[in-house]
Amino acid sequence: MPLATTTMIPRLSRLWTACFGDSKAYTAYIFENLITPGHCVAREDHDTVSCMLFFEPFTLKGGGQPFKGAYIYGVATDPAYRGRGLSTHLLEEAHTLLQSAGYSLSVLVPASESLFDFYAQRGYVPFSDICRISPDDRDNEIAPRDVALTQARLQDLYDDRERFFSSSCAYVSWPPSYLEYTGKECAHFGGEVLRVIAGREEGYAVCYVSPDAVYIKEMMLSYALFDTAAASIRKRYGERRCIFNMPADFGAQYDRPVLPYSMVKWYDKSGCIRRTEAETPPYIAFTLD
């Protein structure tokens, strides 16, 4: 199988920058701190990486039996090699590799609306939606009362996170090592993980800072306290726009629209989780979207 090798890392890095437009600083950071050759499937043509993809292991929990899953990301083809079906072939090889290694499923997050159709033609079906909230000026009237924000380490919140999302019919449970990476990456680029204390309730918010906005990639807190917690976070970041990524059922609670977010491919169809309308919907966060 075409697993990458250590000597390919510089070429993989160059293809990442060329295809995704990330800064050299971010590309260098992710390759130094997250990406390993053993979690990369790639094809070389004449000393050029023509196509690549990466994966990270997780456990899919909820509804009984846990499943071994892989989050697939960074699917990219060199522009000079596009139109030849290389990414489709590489996905098929990755699925064979993962299935033989005992994985039951893979999940990915399409980067654009058109890619949902692309991956649907390759065996993926919708997995989770997301409710993306950007409070407007009217929300400034909400007083950030009785909310304390202190910095925390995301890996230390593993047990809290497991309890909070355990009611989902299916949720991606990241190992502490991946949570640690996520928290460190967040801090490295100016963000922070905040423990949120609102009255007798404790939760957290993972805040990524970018030049145009602050992205709260996950906030664990009851929906009844969202408004005051969001107001406190907005106050902390001053004039910056804050965008909150919330689970899909938040949309029903707050009458906000939900957007398609992730897709899943099951390798063992007999084990796939099927949700009912009464259950909390599937959930994944901390993807490289």
Structure tokens at 92: 């098929």
SS (H, E, C) 8-41: HHHHHHHHHHHHHCCCHHHHHHHHHHCCCHHHEE
Question: Residue 269 domain-assigned?
Answer: no
Whose CA is closest to 58, among 41, 47, 72, 74?
A: 72
Q: Are residues 135 and 78 in the same domain?
A: no
Percent of residues, the chain, with pLDDT higher than 70: 93
Average pLDDT over residues 262-267: 96
Question: Residue 278 domain-assigned?
Answer: no
Q: Are residues 138 and 249 in the same domain?
A: yes
Q: Are residues 58 and 136 in the same domain?
A: no
Structure tokens at 67: 């499943």
Indicate the DSSP class of residue 282: P
pLDDT of residue 137: 46
Domain ranges, residue 37: 6-108
User: d(Cα 158, Cα 143) in Å, to the nearest integer?
Assistant: 30
170-213 confidence digits (pLDDT tens)? 999 999 999 999 999 999 999 999 999 988 899 999 999 998 89
Dihedral of alpha carbons 44, 264, 71, 259, sign: positive
User: d(Cα 247, Cα 170) in Å, to the nearest integer?
Assistant: 12
Percent of residues, the chain, with pLDDT higher than 90: 74
Count of CA atoms in the C-beta half-sphere (13 A) of 52: 31
Q: Does the pLDDT at position 37 exceed 70? A: yes
Q: Are residues 174 and 239 in the same domain?
A: yes
Average pLDDT over residues 23-43: 95
Residue appearing with tokens 């690549």: 52
CATH number of the domain encompassing residue 59: 3.40.630.30
110-162 confidence digits (pLDDT tens)? 999 999 999 999 999 999 999 999 886 445 545 556 799 999 999 999 999 99
Average pLDDT over residues 217-223: 91
pLDDT of residue 274: 64
Question: Residue 53 domain-assigned?
Answer: yes
Helix or strand holding residue 189 (H, E): none
86-110 confidence digits (pLDDT tens)? 999 999 999 999 999 999 999 999 9
Domain count, the chain: 2
Structure tokens at 199: 């009255």
- Helices (H), ranges, 75-155: 86-100, 113-120
Question: Residue 281 domain-assigned?
Answer: no
Question: Residue 148 domain-assigned?
Answer: yes
pLDDT of residue 138: 46
Per DSSP, which regions of the chain are E strands? 40-45, 48-61, 67-77, 105-108, 125-133, 147-151, 171-173, 192-198, 201-209, 214-220, 242-247, 259-266
User: d(Cα 20, Cα 30) in Å, to the nearest integer?
Assistant: 13
- Contact of 129 with 281, CB cutoff 8 Å: yes
Q: Are residues 89 and 137 in the same domain?
A: no
Rg (CA), the chain: 20
Question: Residue 169 domain-assigned?
Answer: yes
Q: Are residues 137 and 215 in the same domain?
A: yes
Q: What is the dihedral of CA 275, 131, 288, 227, to 10 degrees?
A: -120
68-89 confidence digits (pLDDT tens)? 999 999 999 999 999 999 999 9
Count of CA atoms in the C-beta half-sphere (13 A) of 101: 17
Q: Are residues 164 and 248 in the same domain?
A: yes
